Amino acid sequence: MGGAGASDARARQWPFSVVRASDADAFVDALGGDATRVLTRAEDVKKYSVDWMGKYVGASAVVVLPRTTEEVSKVMRHCHARRIAVVPQGGNTGLVGGGTPTRDEVVVSLERMRDIVSIDEDAGCAVCEAGVVLEELESAVRARGMTVPLDLGAKGKCQMGGCVSTNAGGLRLLRYGSLRGSVLGLEVVLPNGDVLDLVRTLRKDNTGYDLKQLFIGAEGTLGVVTKVAISTPRAPRSVNVALFGLESFAKCVEMLKLARGLLGEILSAYEFFDRESLDLVLAQLSGTRDPLPGKPCEFYVVIETSGSDAKHDTAKLDAFLNVVKSQRIVVDGVVGRDEKHAFALWTLRERISVALKYAGAVYKYDLSLPTARMYNLVVVLRDRLRPMFGSRVKVLGYGHAGDGNLHLNVSCAEYDDAIERAIEPFVYEYTRDERGSVSAEHGLGVMKAEEIHYSKDAKAVELMATMKRALDPFGIMNPYKVLPAAAVGLSKL
């Protein structure tokens, strides 16, 4: 922690107060005198300063672990008065450096706010504190015959507040739509410490502007989400998982059209990955096996169906399988025999990010592109990087084909500026020219705050900055994330 006079030179480029020992004392007071929930020792603070990939590393001096909304409010009131920068943190599984400090922001971690407030079977909704882990909420509502309308590979660690703040998409967006539709209400602590109670479980509420939408996907730049009310539909009674091998991406697109037509309302996921992705998973993750041994394919698709009548769903899936086989759309396929087998098939898609993490450094691009042309970028980028870096880099393409969302990942042993310069801004310009989005679902964080203009015009960015200033006049909430520094009056990092 800096002493009283430590601000001088740093404060000129870092327009926030340097955290002092007296601030840590104020946080202890805010937390009812519980000093065990204000971390200041470097070894305790370290893990909150580094992201899941080990790529974004800050240097927080203090981590605060509130247990109640009131405590969050008191902490924010102090930070607002003292102009101390804050980064709200959930499960720290974000992939764009949004949840970790850029410098010495105070981390407000929601990990101690883990109560499930209510589950209403009649209305089909649940209310929980922001720190509830997605998988915990899923187990709790499952026990009552319902499901959370969101599923993703980080479910064992990511928190509901973090998911809402990134507007996470995930594996079943195709079925349940975006969180913008499923989230019914929120409680948010504003940058000045005021508590905004928008917790409602109503399906319909047209009284004025829908303020909760502002905080969904705001990545902690407008306030701290402390409670989430979310719809919890009935859990499907019959689930089938099938994996197919295909010879081209064009066939994946052709099959998607057929799946939409023939499986219709029971289609709940349509995910693809390429050969490079499968090879990496098989190489990095023990216990994984080639799903179609002896029949290597260039592309794989995982299809999931979810419905309420096993007989009806199986009949539909069988009809679909007959068509894709007889029309030679697929090379081969396999249907999950039981839950364990279905899980193994899902693993091949769901754990690609984990395999990438084990493989070393990774440059991640999460893009919305026109579905039929989505994979062209993978091919173009491979052709671009090969002459420069040979086999030192691997370019992987996978993602939520059913949602037009490509995950383009460049894997290499170590981070290397020359590789990054060869990818960026090329990938962003390509995406702009396709009128796509440079962030389909992971957000902008610190990684892409300066790249927002590839997907939003200047007027839109200026309006966002106006809203940011209205809610956070001192810019203390998660600075350098989401919006370009200049748009909110900061100098570049």
Rounded to whole angstroms, the Cα distance separating 41 from 68 reads 23
Residue 335 or residue 354: which is nearer to ligand FAD going by CB? 354
Instruction: State the nearest-atom distance from the C-beta of 221 to ligand 2HG, in Å.
Output: 21
Instruction: State the nearest-atom distance from the C-beta of 64 to ligand FAD, in Å.
Output: 13
The residue within the footprint of ligand 2HG, chosen from 407, 448, 468, 481 (CB under 6 A), is 407
Residue 60 or residue 89: which is nearer to ligand FAD going by CB? 89
**What are the phi and psi torsion angles at 54 (to 5°)?**
75, 25
Q: Which residues pair with 399 in a beta bridge?
A: 272, 406
Residue 84 or residue 422: which is nearer to ligand FAD going by CB? 84
Instruction: State the nearest-atom distance from the C-beta of 356 to ligand 2HG, in Å.
Output: 6
Q: Which positions lie near ligand FAD, rule CB under 6 A?
A: 52, 87-95, 98-99, 110, 130, 152-154, 158-159, 161-163, 165-166, 168-171, 219-220, 224-225, 353-354, 441-442, 445, 478, 481
Partner whose footprint covers residue 437, from ligand FAD, ligand 2HG, none (CB < 5 to 8 Å by kind): none
Helix (H) or strand (E) holding 333: strand 332-335
Residue 186 or residue 329: which is nearer to ligand FAD going by CB? 186
Cα distances from 170 to residues 14, 35, 174, 260, 442, in angstroms, run 35, 37, 9, 19, 10
Q: Which two tokens mark 253?
A: 């697109």
Residue 238 or residue 284: which is nearer to ligand 2HG going by CB? 284
Instruction: State the nearest-atom distance from the C-beta of 477 to ligand 2HG, in Å.
Output: 25
Q: Which two tokens mark 442?
A: 């992971």
Rounded to whole angstroms, the Cα distance separating 387 from 369 reads 26
Angle of CA points 161, 353, 384, to nearest 5°: 120
Residue 436 or residue 445: which is nearer to ligand FAD going by CB? 445
Tokens 């102009």 — which residue? 83
Q: How many CB atoms are located within 10 Å of the residue 254 CB?
A: 17
Q: Which two tokens mark 409?
A: 């990942």
Residue 409 or residue 455: which is nearer to ligand 2HG going by CB? 409
Instruction: State the nearest-atom distance from the C-beta of 3 to ligand FAD, in Å.
Output: 28
The residue within the footprint of ligand 2HG, chosen from 166, 409, 437, 439 (CB under 6 A), is 409
Q: Is 90 in the site for ligand 2HG (CB under 6 A)?
A: no
**3-state percent helix, strand, coil for the chain, nearest multiple of 5:** 40, 20, 40
Q: Is 443 in the site for ligand 2HG (CB under 6 A)?
A: no
Cα distances from 190 to residues 194, 383, 417, 477, in angstroms, run 5, 47, 38, 9
Rounded to whole angstroms, the Cα distance separating 265 from 107 reads 43
Instruction: State the nearest-atom distance from the C-beta of 348 to ligand 2HG, in Å.
Output: 11
Q: Is 105 helix (H, G, I), strand (E, B) or coil?
A: coil
Residue 96 or residue 239: which is nearer to ligand FAD going by CB? 96
DSSP calls for 14-71: S-SPPP-HHHHHHHHHHTTT-GGGEE-SHHHHHHHHB-TTS--B---S-EE---SHHH
Residue 189 or residue 348: which is nearer to ligand 2HG going by CB? 348
Q: Count Cα atoms within 13 angstroms, Cβ side, for 413.
A: 4
Q: Is 153 in the site for ligand 2HG (CB under 6 A)?
A: yes
Residue 333 or residue 402: which is nearer to ligand FAD going by CB? 402
Total interface residues for ligand 2HG by CB under 6 A: 9
Partner whose footprint covers residue 220, from ligand 2HG, ligand FAD, none (CB < 5 to 8 Å by kind): ligand FAD
Q: Is 172 in the site for ligand 2HG (CB under 6 A)?
A: no
Instruction: State the nearest-atom distance from the C-beta of 353 to ligand 2HG, in Å.
Output: 3
438 and 431 Cβ atoms separated by less than 8 Å: yes
Partner whose footprint covers residue 23, from ligand 2HG, ligand FAD, none (CB < 5 to 8 Å by kind): none
212 and 258 Cβ atoms separated by less than 8 Å: no
Which amino acid is it at 420? E
Q: Count Cα atoms within 13 angstroms, Cβ side, for 111.
A: 15
Instruction: State the nearest-atom distance from the C-beta of 455 to ligand FAD, in Å.
Output: 16
Q: Is 353 in the site for ligand 2HG (CB under 6 A)?
A: yes
Residue 336 or residue 445: which is nearer to ligand FAD going by CB? 445
Partner whose footprint covers residue 193, from ligand 2HG, ligand FAD, none (CB < 5 to 8 Å by kind): none
Q: Which two tokens mark 205?
A: 């509420």
Nearest-CB residue to ligand 2HG? Answer: 353
Instruction: State the nearest-atom distance from the C-beta of 314 to ligand FAD, in Å.
Output: 27
Nearest-CB residue to ligand FAD? Answer: 162
Rounded to whole angstroms, the Cα distance separating 378 from 397 reads 6
Q: Count Cα atoms within 13 angstroms, Cβ side, for 125.
A: 17
The residue within the footprint of ligand 2HG, chosen from 74, 77, 80, 364 (CB under 6 A), is 364
Residues that bind ligand 2HG in the complex, under the rule CB under 6 A: 95, 153, 352-353, 364, 366, 399, 407, 409
